[in-house]
Chains A and B, each alone.
Chain A
Amino acid sequence: MKDLCLEAMNTALNLGVDYADIRIINQRDQMIVILDMSPKQINDEETVGFGIRVLKNGAWGFASASCVNKENINSIVKEAFQVAIASSRTKEGKGVILASEPAYQDYFKTPIEIDPFTVNMNDKIHLLLEINKKILNVKHIAKAFSRLRVTRRDQFFASTEGSMVETDIYTVSAGYTAVSVKGGDSQDRSFQDYPLNKGWEHIQSLNLLGNAERIAEEAVMKIDADFPKEGKKDLVLDPAHLSLTIHESVGHATELDRVLGYEANFAGRSFVTTEKKGNFRYGSEKGNFIADNTLPGGLATTGYDDEGVKCQRWDIIKDGIFVDYSSTREVAPLIGEKRSRGSARADGYYNMPINRIPNLYLMPSGDDTTPEDLISGVEDGILIEGRGSFSIDQMRLNFQFGGDAFFEIKNGKKDKMLRDVIYQSITPEFWGNLDAISGKDYWEPRGFRNCGKGEPMQVAQMTNGAPYARFRKINVLRGKS
């Protein structure tokens, strides 16, 4: 593969490119989906191909193909070169200028204890069948839906600046959902998918089977639960839930390409405009958000991003003040930054890398505050567990979230289950109402394998970790008419 990478870069240099890079990817995915006791998907998939990015006259060209050989690579370099020349016709000013980055010769592999591909496919299927069996044994359960996915992505990256980096990344995830039906009504409850860049040992640590009955019973309890009383309430949010709120209202909002308008036609822009850097109060002083693509097990912990920038750790929000964005080599210089934050990711070999959310998390408190401590400080509120409905405007301000399970909090105690709770807020107001956070023992590296962005949409993965956190006076509504 290294020889093919060098061949591509030599061809590009001979054509007279300003810059070029190549990614050759060999990816394997196993995906299993079981509905009730029926295997709906038992797939073993391989994806092999390469993408070449060329910068000429300050404009990009990109071309890709699935057949990896010398002849094809040389032809695709030339195609990307021609496309770059076409792009340069609408160039503004000097066009694209890349932030500098050292050239690396390196190899990075996800540390794993058990290779997930060495685990028998049949064992994986039976694990899910056992889960579904337990769920379906609970009275009033109509459906059980379980899923498991293991992935290995082996990527060679090379650039005309002299980088040659191989990254060998493993990701595993699993989860399930129980659907209850009773009295003409229906609810569901999930063991939320919990992906990490780890080996099979992560799946073993999840206690998937041990939670199946409880999840199913809670799906039934939700049907009989009361609706919330609408109005301002205090919320205590668990890590699985809060990870999504962070993802939508902080992660996407602080992608620099959005701020600059690159996604204005579809994925949207951001209210976190460049003059806010270093001085905008994003939320209360309790809120410290770290971007960390070196986080062990993090879904964006890949050693290097997809344009060969070494993974980093930096502050996004410090003591409630917005400090910095995620960025790529293209957009970082546009706000005077000398170096990219290493957040360029592409969905497969056939897409061009774009600015993506890094591993991003809310720091736990520095003490040993427990979730019960947070609840004890609430007179009238709701504990929300897991993810449900979610929606946010294209500037990342007005949002509405549901959840997976809801428990009323009365006079400092977790009380009865509720159903169909939604809450609405505006991003800086919401984070401004953050008043307490649990300690590190309750922090979880939750994450996403299906974050959508770009046009047409590209999928990326990242960890958005969180502790439990408490928010005062948030607008709660009933989600069912």
Chain B
Amino acid sequence: MKMDWLSEKIKLLIKNKSVDEITLRVVRESQNLTRFAENHIIQNVTKKTNDIYITAFNGKSTGTARTQDTSEESLLRNLKRAEEIAINSPEDPEFIEPLEPIEINGVDRYFNNARDLTPEEKAEEINKIKKEAVAKGMEIAGQYLNGEYSVGFANSLGHIAFHQHTLVNFSITAMLDDSSGYAGEADENLDKINLGRVADIAFTKASLGKNPVELTTGEYPVILEAQAIADFIPFLKWMMDRRAADEGYVYFSGRLGKKIASENVNLYSDPYNFDNPSEPFVSENGLPLGKIVWIENGVLKNLQTSRYWAKKKNLKPIGFATNIILEGGKKSLEEMIKSCDDALLITRLWYIRFVNRMDLNLTGMTRDGLYKIKNGEIVSAFKNMRFNDSPIRLLNSVAEFGIPRRIQGYCLVPPVFVKGFKLSSTTLF
């Protein structure tokens, strides 16, 4: 799918529509996934999908039909289905018209090297890493994914938006009898991914994790690696909704413009950020996205605001952002560890869930590497722990930020040294 295809298809739908307005949204994926475990490839999958959503607007009613068939016959049949739903549906008291045309600058992050990587090439690379793992007496599991993705939006008022990008995502878990280590890298450009570097980190972490002992529950000074921060911080952003805040059922109620984090905390989103680019519009309605500052010097500056809520409250709509950027510092993770006297190091967090949305209390587990840092060195490992803590409390107890790293092609976040992180129970490994 390209912009031309989108333009041609919306014209076809406009010509055949019998309702007031229509929108067309297309999400296309062409993905090659290689999964490995127990030192061999367990899945090698090529996947091609086209999801086409046609929404009909009839008065103040809407209806949506979805298909994966791109033929003209299918598009027209699904247009009729969407129209039937809209015609027979009750009026929506929160109805919002489709957007008028707005220019959206593109984000160019399409790399042929990521698209063209073959299953054979990936198998070769995995084989090399497997040999290294076997020599170290380790077992490996992981994934090596590549593909091209595109999303297009067009409506009958003439608004049209299109974005495509590639992605390579490699991650690996190295395992010994009583320890494991995890590492991963993701980018649109294959040249930015270094499989050997990723594997080495996982191998080192597994070695450092040997002979773990039980840790007493309590509050500890902790360095959370960038991966752990990327696991944790999105939960904060998902709750940053203006309507929910105004209606009083999230933590952010009454806090806009107030200090909610340490003064050194700056959190924002920006699809045009060179180091962490993302989709520059909301795929559901084509609303453009720009740089939005969420927290500036610890003060809550903005909340996501739907088009409906913006109109009702006379505000500017702020779309659900497609990336997260937490400003960092100048030290590498290794330098942070060296300058630390006594703390824990957490590699990754797992199975995080909200416990209470009013204080943003979350729970989850440490995973694939929980270590003790003493006098600037990793000296031992602990069995994994459950945490019960809030990202707000964490962002109020920041002692130091490290250099940001891009995680999962979505977050650009640093490792963070926090003065206190609450660990509530232990597990058996």
Footprint of B on A, CB under 8 Å? 35-39, 41-49, 59-67, 79-80, 82-84, 86-87, 89-92, 95, 120-122, 125-126, 129, 142-143, 179, 181, 184-186, 188, 260-266, 268, 271, 350-352, 354, 389-395, 397-398, 400, 402, 420, 422, 424, 426, 455-456, 475, 477, 479-481
- Chain B residues closer than 8 Å to A67, beta-carbon distance: 69-70
Evaluate contact between B173 and A395: CB separation under 8 angstroms: no
- Chain A residues closer than 8 Å to B47, beta-carbon distance: 63-64, 350-351
Max chain B Cβ within 10 angstroms of own Cβ: one of A64, A80, A87: A87
In the assembled complex, B118 has its CB within 8 A of some CB on chain A: yes
Evaluate contact between A90 and B130: CB separation under 8 angstroms: yes
CA distance A420 to B93 in the complex (A): 34
What are 23 A-B pairs with beta-carbon distances under 8 A?
A: A42-B85, A44-B63, A44-B64, A62-B44, A83-B119, A86-B118, A89-B120, A129-B90, A186-B248, A186-B250, A186-B358, A261-B37, A262-B141, A264-B139, A266-B171, A354-B43, A391-B363, A391-B386, A400-B388, A424-B425, A480-B358, A480-B361, A481-B390
In the assembled complex, B191 has its CB within 8 A of some CB on chain A: no
- Chain B residues closer than 8 Å to A426, beta-carbon distance: 427-428
Stretch at the interface among B6-14, B224-232, B314-322, B348-356: B348-356
Residue of B nearest to A248 (CB): B351
CB distance from A325 to the nearest CB of B (A): 16
Evaluate contact between B180 and A181: CB separation under 8 angstroms: no
Evaluate contact between A60 and B62: CB separation under 8 angstroms: no
The 8 closest A-B pairs by CB, nearest first: A398-B427, A264-B141, A45-B66, A86-B119, A186-B249, A38-B94, A66-B68, A181-B248
CA distance A196 to B222 in the complex (A): 45
Evaluate contact between A41 and B141: CB separation under 8 angstroms: no
In the assembled complex, B220 has its CB within 8 A of some CB on chain A: no
Counting contact residues on chain B (CB < 8 A from A), the size range is 35 or more
CB distance from A199 to the nearest CB of B (A): 21
CB distance from A349 to the nearest CB of B (A): 9
Evaluate contact between B428 and A271: CB separation under 8 angstroms: yes
Residue of A nearest to B81 (CB): A44
CB distance from A267 to the nearest CB of B (A): 10
Evaluate contact between B124 and A66: CB separation under 8 angstroms: no
0 or 1 for each of B75-88: is its CB under 8 Å from A? (1 = yes)? 00010011001001
Residue of A nearest to B173 (CB): A265
Residue of A nearest to B29 (CB): A350
Footprint of A on B, CB under 8 Å? 33-50, 61-70, 78, 81-82, 85, 88-90, 92-94, 118-120, 122-124, 126-127, 130, 139, 141-143, 145, 171-173, 175, 180, 182, 247-250, 253-254, 350-359, 361, 363-365, 367, 384, 386, 388, 390, 393, 424-429
- Chain A residues closer than 8 Å to B69, beta-carbon distance: 46, 48, 66-67
- Chain B residues closer than 8 Å to A268, beta-carbon distance: 350
- Chain A residues closer than 8 Å to B41, beta-carbon distance: 59-60, 87, 89-91
Evaluate contact between A121 and B88: CB separation under 8 angstroms: yes
Among A64, A92, A395, the residue within 8 A (CB) of B40 is: A92
CA distance A59 to B363 in the complex (A): 39
CA distance A349 to B361 in the complex (A): 38
Among A62, A64, A129, A397, the residue within 8 A (CB) of B429 is: A397
Asked, given contacts A62-B45, A86-B123, A181-B248, whether A481 binds B361 with beta carbons under 8 Å apart, the answer is: yes
Evaluate contact between A48 and B428: CB separation under 8 angstroms: no
CB distance from B7 to the nearest CB of A (A): 22
